[in-house]
Amino acid sequence: MIKVLVVEDSPVVREFLVHVLGSDPDIRVVGTARDGEEALETVRHQRPDVITMDIHMPRLDGLEATRRIMETHPTPIVIVSGSDDPREVATTFDAMEAGALAVLRRPAGIGHPEHEATARELVQAVKLMSEVKVVRRWPRVWRQAHASRPSKMGLAPEAAQVRVVAIGASTGGPPVLQAILAALPKDFPAPILIVQHMAAGFVRGFVEWLAQSCGLPVHVATHGELMLPGHAYVAPDEFQMKVEHGGRITLTRDAPENGLRPSVSCLFRSVAEVYGCDAVAGLLTGMGRDGAEELRLLKEKGAVTFAQDKASSVVHGMPGEAIRLDAAMLVLPPDKIAAVLTNLANNRGKKERDP
């Protein structure tokens, strides 16, 4: 039985979420909280397996509550948002940086055509997150003081060129992507393509959140768009993102792969076909195995490939599968990935300048 705490300031929404979650025989709602202060107190007494967290609440909001819970009683947290405003949605990703595992849209009301599907999505997310072993997040001041920890890292092999970078991520991916993009130089000489698995409706808010802290322009990818160096392109909801000769993005309604659209596998296969050894590609934290086989294909084509290391991954499914398949040339923590990408790009520039 999965014990869940529901944190939500609206009584109507709170009872609705209790009803949705309680309808599953494997879930028991052990408590509710009207704000972050009540949530902290309930977590101490009830020790839930998963918390669903609202963001906008009185006294103590969901962001600060998430931060404090992860610093004192680390628990898998799912942010449940009822907002459609991309700017408001962007603030929910700050909670992921603080340690929340996923952001989901609040299920549609009873009688709505999408009620069953969205309710099932929340239930499934809670079940999946209950299996994640979260670790304590130390207070921000402590983290900053200890940020420069040594880590083992192989030397980045030289690529023929770096004409494109492709990255796939799932659970725990947003803050890792933010850290990587924020550390890249503004004159990074290649476009960056990103598939981040997340609930429908959050991509625009995610892109705005990334853009706030990155020196590089970040876009939701559009069909036929010409990729520009130093720009990042995030796959939109319900489209497979591919590349074509001439450096343009193609969006299609092709069938889901590994149950996903967008799929990392689809992107990587396209990049392997068009760019081959002139690509760099990697898998970050996430459940499942999306993209792992195709990362091996990229490696076989001569591309530089990497996977996030286990110690820094919230879930080591996707990168772990890539490592198992010997698809990753490099296994790196997030703070080393940007350095490797920059090093590869600089090597390319040097090779182009040399006679």
Catalytic-role residue among 290, 309, 312, 313 = 290
Q: What is the DSSP string of 89-107?
A: HHHHHHHHHTT--EEEEPP
Residue with tokens 């076909």: 273
Residue 197 a catalytic site member: yes
Instruction: Tokens for 225, please give them.
Output: 């768009």
197, 263, 278, 312: the catalytic one is 197
CA distance 143 to 306: 25
- For residue 278, indicate whether it is catalytic: no
| Long-range CB contacts for residues 13-20, cutoff 8 Å, separation at least 24 | 13/54, 13/82, 13/106, 16/107, 16/109, 16/110, 17/52, 17/80, 17/106, 17/107, 17/122, 20/107, 20/119, 20/122, 20/123
Q: Which residues pair with 50 in a beta bridge?
A: 4
Q: How far apart are CA 278 and CA 290, in angstroms?
A: 22
Sheet holding 304-308, edge to edge: 218-220, 232-234, 192-196, 164-169, 279-283, 304-308, 330-332
Q: Which residues pair with 102 in a beta bridge?
A: 78
- Which residues have C-beta within 8 Å of that of residue 77, sequence separation ≥ 6? 50, 51, 52, 53, 66, 69, 70, 95, 99, 100, 101, 129
Enter the tokens of residue 103: 């952001």
* Other C-beta atoms lying within 10 Å of the C-beta of residue 205: 23
DSSP string, 38-71: HHHHHHHHH--SEEEE-SS-SSS-HHHHHHHHHH
Q: Which of 81, 83, 130, 170 is catalytic?
A: 170
**Do residues 268 and 297 make contact, with C-beta atoms less than 8 angstroms apart?**
yes
Q: Is 290 a catalytic residue?
A: yes
**How far apart are the two ends of the chain, measured CA to CA in Å?**
67
Residues carrying an active site annotation: 170, 197, 290
